[in-house]
Amino acid sequence: MIVFVTGTDTGVGKTVATAAWALHFGPDVVVAKPTQTGDDEPDVEVVRRLAGCEVAQFTHLPDPLAPDTAARLRTVGIPTIGDHAARVRELAGAHGTVIVEGAGGALVRLDTTGGTLPDLAADLARDHEVQVHVVTRVGLGTLNHTELTVEALRSRGLEPAGLVLGAVPEEPGLAERCNLTELPRTTGVPVLAALPEGAGALRPQEFRRRAPSWFRTR
């Protein structure tokens, strides 16, 4: 199976959610990042540290921008969606589950021809079981962002398997409390996991101990 982790925006908690999913689907799992941008700790290294699983990063660009923008800024070529699909298929042939973390929001361009994570998922869905999970915020404004993301996926023939709440405060405010029920109601997509705020700062042992409690269903 190939699991795609996308989000409503950048900074919503995709990487920490990916680490939690890796533990959920383990042990025969590998996490892939088609394109990493910026010089901070690579997302796959965060996942490796938290989940202790095998990881693979296909491409790195130094500027903290969308992959297409970062490549154009440097006037360099980057792999196409077809190239990424071939790499993911190789990983799928060697592992029970491949988790692919996107960059930014769902429609961020991963190559210089306009290819996106939904395009990659649709390509791989031709010959593999594919799931798409959407990581989202719980605060004010998330209903619109999440509905737009779900609508974009559905318009491309991809039905989201579930929502992941990326950072739920220990003491949610009014908007957060309402959105816990409004998100699945307005999108028609179930909430499969709710990660507490600060989960990514936990020590790996504590992260692994607590991660199972964040999931509501398999």
Confidence of residue 70 (pLDDT cuts 50, 70, 90): very high
Euclidean distance between CA atoms 177 and 8, whole angstroms? 19
Sheet holding 97-101, edge to edge: 54-61, 29-37, 97-101, 2-7, 130-136, 162-168, 191-196
Confidence of residue 217 (pLDDT cuts 50, 70, 90): low
Q: What is the average per-residue pLDDT within 45-55?
A: 98
Mark whether 33 is an active-site residue: yes
Q: Which residues are annotated as a binding site?
A: 11-16, 37, 43, 101-104, 196-198
Contact 180, 139 (CB under 8 A): no
Q: Which residues are annotated as a binding site for substrate?
A: 37
Residue 187's domain comprises 2-214
Q: Which residues are annotated as a binding site for ATP?
A: 11-16, 43, 101-104, 196-198
Contact 14, 133 (CB under 8 A): no
The residue from 24, 33, 95, 133 that is catalytic is: 33
Contact 104, 9 (CB under 8 A): yes
Q: Which of 2-6, 26-30, 196-200, 213-217 has the lowest mean pLDDT?
A: 213-217
Residue type, 79: P
Phi, psi (deg, nearest 5) at residue 60: -130, 135
Q: What is the pLDDT of residues 130-184, one digit of tens each?
A: 999 999 999 999 999 999 999 999 999 999 999 999 999 999 999 999 999 999 9
Euclidean distance between CA atoms 7 and 17, whole angstroms? 10
CATH code (residue 45): 3.40.50.300
Average pLDDT across the chain, whole number: 96
Overall domain count for the chain: 1
Contact 18, 47 (CB under 8 A): yes
Please name the residue that has the structure tokens 């999931």. Answer: 215
Please name the residue that has the structure tokens 């507490």. Answer: 196
